[in-house]
Structure 1
Amino acid sequence: MSLYLCVDSSSVELLAGPSNVSNTTIESFIETIRLTVGDALKTCSSPASVDPVALPPPAHLGFAAVWFGIAGADSPSIIESATNPLSVLLGIPKGPRLSIANDAHLLAAPIRFHADVSFAVTVIGGTGSIVVSFAEKEDGELEELGRVGGWGWLLGDEGGGYSVGREAVRQVLEEQDKHSILTVVYIPDPASSTAILPDHPAHTYMTRKERLSSLSPLVFTAAFEHNDPLALNVLQTCAEYLADQIDVLVGDASEESPRLVKASESVICFGGSLVGLEGYRKIVLDELESKGHVFKCVEFVGDCAAVGAAGLRMKYQN
């Protein structure tokens, strides 16, 4: 978890452990927040404190607004279960100044940096993938309009790292029909107690998901450093998968599809290790252009927490 505290014109960053609410209890998540925020606030004390600040914070360190982008917060029930404890912990009432949503929402923060756009389409392309569209309402809040993907490697993640590895194996099989590759792919997942032996191949200690995902860096190297035709075709195919997901949320709104957003009125915000590579991002954008979608603004967000904090400060700076 990455935490940013905005104080006047500066920011304080602090890193903490995992905080995916789908992989832990709400109690454990709140405890992580308590430790992280208390530790971060000590740097804002005057004079600076060596001990974490007890929460809720004292009046002179009170929060003007808080924006949580929480991994795994994909349902209203999860968000509701976190809202009350966070409100009490941080001393900020439930309402517009306490915003809790999925971490994909932070990626939409650049909409506040562009006065001439009203919509944002966020595209996460790392190990997995998800596309979410937003509108900025009159009060500055973000309204989620649509979502595609985020289903995990078994059901989707098109255009992400697992997808790239899987597509590479498919295309090699189509060209050469090397059944020995299938043997490697379908070796059962190792038991958690399996001892690592130096003379055994590394892939025998990986899960099937990890075996395919680990191929992604090799494909990108072959494509962009060696101009390998097969690797380039793999990335072109996976970029098309990702563009197809974006295409579901973009277009001219109509009575049948009132929540579509128009690319020419939107900022597209990319985040994730794969779309962080300019070459791959360009393939996705070229594919979108071929579908008639040219976005008004294009952003790559390397640090969602930092950009989210900057967007929150812009919203409340007056």
Structure 2
Amino acid sequence: MSENHFFAGLDAGGSKTLLLAECEACPERIDRHGPAANPQRVGMDQSVQVLSTLVRKTLRSQRPVDQLSVCAGVAGAGRPDEQQALADRLRRKLRDDAKSVAVEVVHDAYIALDAAFGSESGLVVIAGTGSVVLARTRAGTAHRVGGWGHLLGDPGSGYAMGQAGLRAVAEAFDGGADTTLRPRIAREYGVDERAALLHWVYRDRPPLQDVAPLVIEASADGDAVATDILTSQVAELVRQVEWLLRETDDVAPRIALLGGMLQNEHYAAALRRALVDQIPDWSVEVLRHEPAVGALRRARRLDE
């Protein structure tokens, strides 16, 4: 009887977690969704719980499993010690679900590289809840710029765009430039005066990345303030690409764009234009694969 080898790749971003899985006995690829698992935001215990629960729920219909190979790309797990700690705890959680368990945890930017280019060279720009720029050289060395999180960086991200949009609304209340963001926020969230904005932001603490689509929508409709926000945020993200390319000239001249923000065509077009203007000899494409595809590819390589 042949062994049942189960492969799972997880993309644990700032807003949600996606699992993709395959096995010899599976008629088709399996996908599941779960809550966010960034350990910097939800804590290590909750991160391990989210990841292990997704894997174990997926395994229920596939038992018995002889070999289990899991790769998780986790936002907020940028240091090797954090990655090792997560991998060790996840392995312990799953040790009774298969005869043999292999687990790898990497920063979520690395699975994006694998989704875009496999194990080959290239550069990815990720703009989701957060943002980061990552490249793999032809020699196989990784270089990263950004990924500092919403308190220190993440230009061009959903959080940064939403925060800038709300700042613009606050400035409009103070007599600054008028913007359609003000009535858009009022319609969407019922925030139509100064006191309501203060209460909503500081007491209710909404996920600011949820405001980003309103900023992009306003820009697409010609709002000057929103367009300035989009242009400046995109420019800061492109500047990080330029910083990375100063470090090395050994990257294949191709850029893949991915992340939740790139699902918006207006945002994607603005970022692509800015990159082409600054790096005209490079190809720039929006990646249509989920980053979890890269995690699944890495899971399949764990036993090689």
Output the TM-score relative to the length of structure 1.
0.67
1:156 pairs with 2:153: yes
Q: Which residue of 1 aligns with 2:279?
A: 292
In the alignment, which of 10, 22, 39 is matched to residue 6 of structure 1? Answer: 22
Question: Is this contact kept in 1: 2:125–2:134, CA < 8 A?
Answer: yes
Q: Which protein shows a greater Rg?
A: 1
Q: Which residue of 1 aligns with 2:183?
A: none
Question: Is this contact kept in 1: 2:218–2:226, CA < 8 A?
Answer: yes
Letter in 1 for 2:33: L
Q: CA separation in 1, counterparts of 2:152 and 2:52?
A: 35
Instruction: Identify if the C-alpha distance between structure 1 residues 102 and 315 changes in structure 2 by more than 3 Å, giving closer, same or farther.
Output: same
Instruction: Identify if the C-alpha distance between structure 1 residues 263 and 291 changes in structure 2 by more than 3 Å, giving closer, same or farther.
Output: farther
Q: CA separation in 1, counterparts of 2:163 and 2:51?
A: 37
Q: Which residue of 2 aligns with 1:62?
A: 67
Instruction: Identify if the C-alpha distance between structure 1 residues 71 and 84 changes in structure 2 by more than 3 Å, giving closer, same or farther.
Output: same
1:268 pairs with 2:232: no
Q: Secondary structure at the match of 1:16?
A: strand
Q: Which residue of 1 aligns with 2:107?
A: 102
Q: Which residue of 2 aligns with 1:282?
A: 269
Q: CA separation in 1, counterparts of 2:30 and 2:293?
A: 9
In the alignment, which of 215, 218, 222 is matched to residue 219 of structure 1? Answer: 215
Q: Number of matched residues?
A: 269
Instruction: Identify if the C-alpha distance between structure 1 residues 219 and 28 changes in structure 2 by more than 3 Å, giving closer, same or farther.
Output: closer
Quote how far apart the aligned CAs of 1:233 are. Answer: 3.1
Q: Which runs of 5+ in 2 are unaligned?
A: 1-16, 178-189
In the alignment, which of 225, 229, 233 is matched to residue 234 of structure 1? Answer: 229
Letter in 2 for 1:74: G
For 1:234-253, list aligned pairs within 5 A.
Answer: 234-250=229-245
Instruction: Identify if the C-alpha distance between structure 1 residues 83 and 230 changes in structure 2 by more than 3 Å, giving closer, same or farther.
Output: closer
Instruction: Identify if the C-alpha distance between structure 1 residues 118 and 202 changes in structure 2 by more than 3 Å, giving closer, same or farther.
Output: same
In the alignment, which of 54, 62, 81 is matched to residue 36 of structure 1? Answer: 54
Over aligned residue pairs, what C-alpha RMSD do you find?
4.0
Higher relative contact order (CA 8 A, sep 6+): 2
Q: Which runs of 5+ in 1 are unaligned?
A: 46-57, 183-195, 252-256
Output the TM-score relative to the length of structure 2.
0.70
In the alignment, which of 72, 79, 88 is matched to residue 84 of structure 1? Answer: 88
For 1:175-186, list aligned pairs within 5 A.
Answer: 179-180=174-175
Instruction: Identify if the C-alpha distance between structure 1 residues 206 and 181 changes in structure 2 by more than 3 Å, giving closer, same or farther.
Output: farther
Instruction: Identify if the C-alpha distance between structure 1 residues 278 and 261 changes in structure 2 by more than 3 Å, giving closer, same or farther.
Output: farther
Give deviations 1:231-278, integer Å, cap 9, x for gaps: 333322221111111111125xxxxx3x455452x3423212x22222
